[in-house]
Amino acid sequence: MQWRRMMALVSSLSLAVGLSCAQSKKEAQIVKTGAAAGTATIKGVVKFQGTPLKPRMISMKQDKKCDALHKGKPVPSDEFVLNSNGTLKWVLVYVKNPPKGNYKPPSKPVVLDQKGCHYTPHVFGIMVGQPLEIFNSDGFLHNVHFIGKKNPQFNQAHPTSAVKIRKQFKSPELPPDSYFKCDVHPWMKAWVGIFDHPFFTVSGDDGSFTISGLPAGTYEIEAWHEKLGKQTQKVTVKAGETKTITFTFKR
């Protein structure tokens, strides 16, 4: 079976490179380099057109400790981040109709950190069964409250940096249904896409994204932004091909 071959490649490569990367996105890149011979890659960029949303400034005055971390200055929200090249950060991009198969989740955990009274990363993807490690770099009380429709909710106080909270998800689920919030600091929010396949990623500081390791076929690629909604494109790729697409969110 194809997935077996692929996962064997992944694991041997991880060993060889000795990476300690925590992001599933990077796992996906490893898949790409290893599987370049027989599989296709979809690359792209998320652009923005129109009048940008006013960045919402969060005053943390109500919490002395958070406020002190930012020296009393309001902090821009992550909900709409426009990169300097006119692209959008924090867009979740994924294959809507993944190739059939039973994908083994990577054993490398995804890390969600609570730092400066913000969740880092603000948007991320994770595979079903893949470990999630939640850090508290702030070292004072947060509570990790996961809200979802298909996965059971959990709400756990996280008072100290000495403890890592470990979780796993059972069912695939997409934002806006699934997210993390902190009730102690209600402005804190992180969106999570939970997948039963490895074909997902999040746009970064240059608005670009890469999904690789796809077998030849026609795919629906979806991009989701928390304020601007969803867009879908159809792409057909051949074995070994790399295609470039562009999403453009307008407002």
Partner 1 sequence: MPTQKRVGRIEGVLLPLLLVVLVIVAAVTVAFARHFGWWLRPLASEHGAAIDRLFVITLVITGLVFILVQSLLALFVFRYRGENGRRAIFYPDNPRLEITWTVIPAVILTALIVSGGRLWSRIQLTPPPPDAFAVEVWGQQFKWAIRYPGKDGKFGRTDMRLIMGDNPLGIDTKDPASKDDIFFPAGEGELHIPVGKPVVIYLRSKDVIHSFYVPQFRVKQDAVPGMVTRIWFVPTKKGTFEIACAELCGQGHYTMRGVLIVEDEAKVREWLAQQSTVADLIP
Partner 2 sequence: MAHEVHAYSEVHHEPKSFWTKYIFSQDAKIIGIQYLITAFVMGFIAMVLSWLMRLQLGFPGKAFPWLEKLLPNAAQGGILNQDFYLATVTMHGTIMIFFFITAAGTGGFSNFLIPLQIGARDMAFPFVNMLSYWVYLAACIVLVASFFVPGGPAGGGWTMYPPLSSTKEALMGSGWGATLWLIAMALFIVSTTMGSLNYITTVLNLRTRGMTMGRLPLTVWALFITAILGLLSFPVLFAAAVMLLLDRHLGTSFFTPYLVVSDKHIPHEGGNPILWQHLFWFLAHPEVYIAILPSMGITSEVLATNARKPIFGYRMMVASIAAIAFLSFIVWGHHMFVSGMNPMLGTAFMTTTLLIAVPSAIKTFNWLTTLWGGNLRFTTAMLFAIGFVSTFVTGGLTGIFLGNPPIDIQLHDTYFVVAHFHFVMGVSAVFGLFAGVYHWFPKMFGRMINETLGKLHFWLTFIGVYFVFFPMHYLGFLGVPRRYYAFDQYEFIPQALVHNINVVISIAAFLVGAAQLLFVLNFLWSVFKGPKADRNPWKANTLEWQAPSPPPHGNWGDELPVVYRWPYDYSVPGAPEDFIPQTVPPTPARVRGDGGDGGQQR
Binding site for partner 1 (CB under 8 A): 54, 58-64, 141, 143, 157, 176, 183-187
Cα 108 to its chain centre, rounded Å, is: 15
Tell me the window of 63-71, 110-118, 211-219, 227-235 that interacts with partner 2 (CB under 8 A).
63-71
H or E segment and range at residue 234: strand 229-237
Residue 80 in tokens? 């709409």
CA 185 to chain centre: 21
Which residues are CB-neighbours of 12 under 8 A, at least 6 positions away? none
Q: Is 152 in the site for partner 2 (CB under 8 A)?
A: no
Is residue 128 a contact point for partner 2 (CB under 8 A)? no
Would you say 67 or 196 has its CB closer to partner 2?
A: 67
Sole binder of partner 2 in the list 9, 82, 128, 141 (CB under 8 A):
141
Q: Which residues pair with 220 in a beta bridge?
A: 234
Work out whether 183 is an interface residue with partner 2 (CB under 8 A).
yes
Please tell me the distance from the alpha carbon of residue 183 to that of residue 214, in angstroms, as a whole number: 39
CB of 247 to partner 2, least distance (A): 28
Task: Tell me how far, at minimum, the Cβ of 56 lies from partner 1, in Å.
Answer: 8
3-state secondary structure of 28: helix
In the complex, least distance from residue 102 CB atom to partner 1, rounded to whole angstroms: 35
First to last CA, the chain: 45
For residue 60, the partner it binds in partner 1, partner 2, none, with Cβ less than 5 to 8 A by kind, is partner 1
> Using CB under 8 A, which of 147, 167, 233, 243 touches partner 2?
147
157 binds partner 2 (CB under 8 A): yes
User: Which C-beta is closer to partner 2: that of 54 or that of 71?
Assistant: 71
- Residue 180 or 247 with smaller CB distance to partner 2: 180
Task: Name the CA dihedral angle for 91, 97, 103, 109, rounded to a multiple of 10 degrees.
Answer: 10
Q: How far apart are CA 221 and CA 224, in angstroms?
A: 10
Distance of CA 69 to the CA centre of its chain: 25
Residues of this chain that bind partner 2 (CB under 8 A): 63-65, 141, 145, 147, 153, 155, 157, 159-160, 162-163, 181, 183
